[in-house]
């Protein structure tokens, strides 16, 4: 259909012989064209390890009765979340690395953006819930069993998912109503709000403002709550007299805090800003961190730093070995 524009100089309406964009072309990594096949193999290995690692943690926690506690319940939910979080972007990235025409439909681009932001918001809420769990466990240990009941844990986890999937609805609806008349090249490694807004054929200041408000609320509020929880946790831990108990308390929080700093550190710089985009290389680098690297290191952090999960994995291996026919 024809797109009408008002010429600021002539003050008259011009009809441009352009049609609305029905698909986008993903630019991906333009400076690494020669290395697309090695990149494909590397990304494929990362994706397989991410899926295997998170699935292993989820399965071990759900099947080992000794790990049926609130802390491990939330870790299992996080691992389950990471599986779907990576599934929204990495398979399409793998496909684009091997195909000459790296296209995605307009509807497909909106769906990818919606699910990516929904799962990202869910992770923000879930990491905040995990911080609250550690706060209660360390600062109110006597009341912990009565507060963090199974029912409350399930309700909190469900609340994280529901709120997460509601958050980007307004942003997606606003973007879906924007006119896109070309160019249609997305200067990014997957569909996202900033690169989409840069392609719109109209003023997107309202979209940028709404994106900033939504992202600032989700990211900054949850990050602030996590930091407040850890300030209180550190204050309580420092009051513990026994060095061994103090070290144990710190170790239960170290893995979670590492994941929090890695995840929030990248998304704050990417999304809490009043601009459509900064440098394209800047955006791609941070996208790799929060979309690929964080889900990859989560199983490594939680398995290598957590002795109970390591012992549970060893028990599972011994059980499977014992079941093998001699």
23 CB-side CA count, 13 A: 8
Of 235, 227, 72, 225, the closest CA to residue 139 belongs to 235
Distance CA 32, CA 64 (A): 44
Confidence of residue 3 (pLDDT cuts 50, 70, 90): very low
Per-residue pLDDT tens digits for 73-97? 999 999 999 999 999 999 999 998 8
CA distance 114 to 37: 29
Average pLDDT (8-28) is 60
48, 147, 298, 301 from 78: Cα distances, Å:
17, 21, 9, 13
Q: What is the pLDDT of residue 1?
A: 39
> pTM for the full model?
0.87
pLDDT band at 326 (very low <50, low <70, confident <90, very high): low
- Please tell me the predicted confidence (pLDDT) of residue 274: 65
Give 3-323's CATH code, choosing from 3.40.250.10, 3.20.20.70, 1.20.1070.10, 1.10.1060.10.
Answer: 1.20.1070.10
Q: Which residues contact 252 (CB under 8 A, 6 or more apart)?
A: 71, 134, 137, 138
Per-residue DSSP letter, 32: G
| Cross-strand pairs, 5 | 14
Q: Is the pLDDT of residue 143 over 60?
A: yes
Residue 163: its pLDDT value, please?
96
CA dist list (Å): 251 to 190, 248, 298, 299: 36, 5, 16, 16
Give the pLDDT band of residue 184 (cuts 50, 70, 90): confident
Residue 158: what pLDDT? 97
d(CA 270, CA 289): 11
Residues 260-273 have pLDDT tens digits of: 988 998 888 888 76
In the chain, the DSSP E strands lie at 3-6, 13-16, 23-26, 103-105, 185-186
Bigger pLDDT: 178 or 8? 178
pLDDT score for 72: 92
CA distance 212 to 159: 23
Q: Which carries the bigger pLDDT value, residue 228 or residue 273?
A: 228
């Amino acid at each position: 259909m024809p797109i009408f524009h008002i010429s600021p100089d002539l003050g008259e309406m011009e009809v441009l012989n352009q049609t609305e964009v029905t698909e986008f072309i993903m630019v991906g990594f333009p400076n690494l064209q020669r290395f697309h096949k090695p990149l494909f193999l590397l990304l494929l290995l990362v994706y397989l390890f991410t899926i295997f690692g998170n699935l292993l943690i989820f399965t071990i926690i759900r099947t080992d009765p000794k790990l049926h506690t609130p802390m491990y319940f939330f870790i299992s939910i996080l691992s389950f979340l990471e599986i779907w979080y990576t599934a929204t972007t990495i398979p399409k990235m793998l496909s684009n690395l091997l195909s000459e025409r790296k296209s995605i439909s307009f509807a497909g681009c909106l769906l990818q953006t919606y699910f990516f932001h929904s799962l990202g918001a869910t992770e923000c809420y879930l990491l905040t819930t995990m911080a609250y769990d550690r706060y209660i466990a360390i600062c109110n240990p006597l009341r912990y069993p009565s507060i963090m009941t199974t029912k409350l844990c399930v309700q909190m986890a469900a609340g994280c998912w529901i709120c997460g999937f509601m958050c980007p609805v307004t942003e997606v609806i606003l973007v879906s109503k924007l006119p896109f008349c070309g160019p249609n090249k997305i200067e990014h490694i997957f569909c996202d709000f900033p690169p989409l807004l840069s392609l719109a054929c109209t003023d997107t200041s309202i979209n940028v403002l709404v994106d900033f408000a939504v992202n600032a609320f989700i990211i900054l509020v949850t990050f602030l709550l996590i930091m407040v929880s850890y300030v209180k946790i550190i204050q309580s831990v420092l009051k513990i007299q026994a060095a061994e108990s103090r070290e144990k308390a710190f170790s239960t929080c170290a893995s979670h805090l590492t994941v929090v700093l890695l995840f929030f550190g990248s998304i704050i710089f990417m999304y809490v800003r009043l601009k459509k985009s900064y440098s394209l290389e800047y955006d791609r680098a941070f996208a790799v961190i929060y979309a690929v690297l964080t889900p990859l290191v989560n199983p490594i952090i939680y398995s290598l730093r957590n002795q109970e999960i390591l012992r549970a994995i060893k028990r599972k291996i011994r059980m499977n070995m014992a079941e093998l026919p001699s």
